[in-house]
Amino acid sequence: MATNDGIRTTSGRGKLFDSILDTIGDTPAIRVNNLGPDHVTIYVKAEAFNPAASVKDRLAVNIIEAAERAGTLQPGQTVVEATSGNTGIGLAMVCAQKGYPLVITMAESFSVERRRLMRMFGAKVVLTPRAEKGFGMYRKAVELAERHGWFLAHQFETEANAAIHEATTAREILGDFADGRLDYFVTGYGTGGTVSGVGRVLRAERPDTKIILCEPANAALVASGTPQRRTADGSPAVSHPAFEPHPIQGWTPDFIPLTLQETLDEKYYDELVPIPGPEGIKWARLLARREGIFTGISGGSTFAVTQMIAEKAAPGSVLLCMLPDTGERYLSTPLFEGIAEEMDEEEMVISRSTPGYQMG
């Protein structure tokens, strides 16, 4: 907000918070001004505004608090979960605040900064072999829970996942767009919680909003039409045959999560769009350089699909794109390839344009 003299002002949130967990949610929908076709309006829902900087903060707090309410998580009990990073970081924040020990299992292929962030919060991170993919880290978490009597978070199966998006993410979207159009909602899937929770609400209360679901072009599990083999409790029995490694961390493990199955069964999506990883990297970089919006490869991939939908959308259409996290989760990934640590030639020229304080 700006005053008459043009200076931006703030006035606080109007309340004090009892803990960091009370700041989860209410993330902003931000207009995109410099990218995209002129005949439409694009907004992004920036989940990096959550306290641990991703959409998975919502899931993490609800998994723990639902288990506390149900009595399935006891005071001081160790929590264990398999994650590519963001759920683990969210759980590490929640467990730190509530006093639960946390053990994370994670495939060694995921970015090292995610491991360090979880350890910064006090979690233990157990790595699993790259060749075993997401299914390997999942099975390791199950083994540890069974062997030690730990609480398994079950992010891929628990009803607490979609429920929190139904109760918060979807309600925020309805509130933000209550007085205007919302023609398209575009999202990828990891666990499937976002699309299933938001899909429940949009189908019931904004049925004209088309839901666009995205997945990696080289790991098109949903598009393959091949059902996921499951155990009796709905967890994956095997790695999905359509999976291939892809650079979009947080999207599409090597199985179709039970939480996503609701979306597939209930047809909560109107169109399924594949996107190559390099396109996600390109658009994540463009969002940073043209909009000042910093997101990871998953956010860039969702925005790439949003651009594709926007090009063919009717004039006046309004689109909302989910950006799951911050680009800082990807420092050691292809997103930052070519981003130099040292000065390049142009920067050296700028440095030498005045006589003082030059590097050698």
Q: Which positions are catalytic?
A: 56, 298
Which distant-in-sequence residues (6+ apart) come within 8 Å of 94 by Cβ? Answer: 21, 57, 60, 61, 64, 100
Q: Give kind and range of the element (H or E) at residue 20.
A: none
Alpha-carbon gap, residue 326 to 340, rounded angstroms: 19
Question: E-assigned strands of 217-360?
Answer: 271-275, 318-323
Report whether 302 contacts 277 (CB < 8 A).
no
Report whether 308 contacts 35 (CB < 8 A).
no
Report whether 134 contacts 165 (CB < 8 A).
no
Report whether 84 contacts 191 (CB < 8 A).
no
DSSP β-ladder status, 184-187 and 210-216:
parallel
Alpha-carbon gap, residue 183 to 212, rounded angstroms: 10
DSSP β-ladder status, 210-216 and 124-128:
unpaired
Q: Give kind and range of the element (H or E) at residue 214.
A: strand 210-216
Indicate the burial class of 112 (C-beta count within 10 angstroms; 0-12, 13-18, 19 or more).
Answer: exposed
Alpha-carbon gap, residue 270 to 27, rounded angstroms: 25
Find, among 98, 87, 96, 196, the residue nearest to 152 by Cα. 87
Q: What is the CA radius of gyration of the chain?
A: 21
Structure tokens at 110: 């995921």
